[in-house]
Structure 1
């Protein structure tokens, strides 16, 4: 499919470039009892409010009073302190001086394998990349990454099985605990032992310095793994799908500098956010612009709806316009990474690894999409999944 690039003032108002909109329309919904927020302005206001606490995503399993409560479920000063302590792993300096090397080396290895065989599954390549980058940041570098990736995937089993039957839930819980145990024994525990013997500049070393017990380190590792590996895999495939099927957009991406490539990727993410809903609970009565949340109320910010709110994103909100963020004087991804104190700390890492991989991918001779991905929905994470996308290229010549 070839898309003719239209001048901004002549963009077709009926144009809709979203690939996941149809499936999301029937699956995105707030948790029971939550009130949905769809506008960008109110959604951002809620996410930035210090009186709105983290909610949803099984947060009731953790007590904020616990000294080792995962940072994802903290709020207020404790959250600020914990986020500040780990921020150094996600800064532009960390990306440029350390993480970039992992991104480039892994990309070179993966694309070399693609050229050697002439074909590959894109979701498998993107997952290997995401695992390598996240593992380096977390400190899970001592075990085989391919088998570790499978164990992380298996640990999400409970989120894929929804049932109100107590016996079913109990069985699912046992299976999930088994997978988590394997992840701990084969990946996390060896990493903890290695870091106790010799610290490195990674999250596990930091947690050891903070006297975290092994169980708490396991929970943090699983949280970072899902956030840094699973979601990035989906986005890389989605971005590649858009670029493969839009000749003009791909040509612009290939010719662009890093800043413009990032703008293109952020606009794709605006249209296709991996996370669809974010939930916040009112600590006390809170007044927003045009809305009020009573103490205990849970608000569900619909990221997909907020990201196509014309009041914030401008005309033709469903059309892919890489210059939109600049024109609207907004962060190009809008609310795709959240906002406020809980904005995704790894946003810049995810964008950098996606850009580096896709820049390399589209430089491969003869690169083409032979099979578009299967698009399904993962209710447990509230996100789309893309599988079985097949790419092919001109095979590298072999030595006689």
Structure 2
């Protein structure tokens, strides 16, 4: 199994591994791949044995220590200030009206009859919501997007064995300057204000919120609309859950073994990379019968692992679900006869989404 196979159409290969070798050593990953639902949960719920706190963790090398790259008490300290802004009441009262307004404005700006939804809709919506949450002083949405794209490129370079890019360092310095201004201004609408963390820690976690709120949400929206257009259904919470089960926007998460351990017969050594295939776990037939079928009325779709499990469960999961549902509903309500102009299936090793989603309407 190669990286290319895992990036294009991984599901038949993941099914074979899940059935015959659910914890498999993959030379191309230089690590283990976990594909079964129960084993994936076991790894993600055991940070003492399978940690993110490792110097090889590429995102940590680019943005520094954060809730994404720490475990234990330090992880809890970094994470705790950012949990309240994404609880049910704030999502309902602040973000739901914002997402509905932004989605409507984006649709109003479409050219007549046809558009590419990922770049003209899903991406701009995700970026605008993150920009509003961060409330960065003197920074517009295109700037946030440019910083984010630069961070992703730098992390990808590190993952491939290189060093953080100069452009990534420049973007991080610009983010730091903006965060300092935001903290000095004390805008209570910014989730960064009043955290009790140091300025360096706030900057690192601001970058994490960009990672979590942009790429994965863009993927969720794009995948959901594609699934509904291909297979039918209503843009509602059940369809959102089934869509992220069938094609999770974040398809893989990495951990590192802290000690020698045996998992499903695999003898994992301390220090080994252990990658959890969310995509594989989400199609485990032991949990989800007929797992390759999109069924928006699947009764247990919420058992999907698209938002991870354990201490690193996505703090923005509720907001991401809300964005995806409202984004899809706005499209179907406002664009009669919405249909695919062409289909470009999802791809990507870690972040899976269609490269483009061209649609037409009457």
TM-score scaled to structure 2, two decimals? 0.82
Shift in Å, 1:317: 1.4
Cα distance, 1:271 vs structure 2: 1.0
1:26 Cα deviation from its structure 2 partner: 9.6
Q: Does 1:310 align with 2:285?
A: yes
> Contact (CA 8 Å) 2:187, 2:193: kept in 1 or not?
yes
Task: Structure 2: state its 5+ residue gaps.
Answer: 1-5, 15-25
Distance 1:363 1:350 in 2: 20
Q: Which residue of 2 aligns with 1:132?
A: 128
**1:173 is matched with which residue?**
165
Indicate yes or no: 2:302 matched with 1:331: yes
* 2:250 aligned partner: 275
2:287 aligned with 1:352, yes or no? no
Q: Do the aligned partners of 1:89 and 1:202 also contact (CA within 8 Å) in 2?
A: no
Separation (CA, whole Å) in 1 of partners of 2:193 and 2:322: 24
Residues 180 and 199 of structure 2 are in contact (CA less than 8 Å); yes or no, is this contact kept in structure 1? no
Q: TM-score, normalised by structure 1?
A: 0.75
Other-structure match for 2:334: 364
Cα deviation digits, residues 114-144 of structure 1 (max 9, x gap): 3x74443211211111011112222236422
1:1-400 aligned at under 5 Å gives the runs 23-24=9-10, 32-51=29-48, 52-54=50-52, 58-59=56-57, 62=60, 69-114=65-110, 117-124=112-119, 125-140=121-136, 142-160=138-156, 169=162, 173-181=165-173, 183-184=174-175, 189-207=177-195, 209-213=196-200, 216-246=201-231, 249-250=232-233, 253=234, 261-286=236-261, 293-313=268-288, 315-324=289-298, 326=299, 328=300, 331-332=302-303, 334-372=304-342, 374-375=344-345, 377-379=347-349, 382-394=350-362
1:54–1:31: structure 2 CA closer, same or farther, 3 Å change rule?
A: farther
Could you say what the CA RMSD is over the residues aligned between the two structures, in angstroms?
3.3
Of structures 1 and 2, the larger Rg is shown by 1
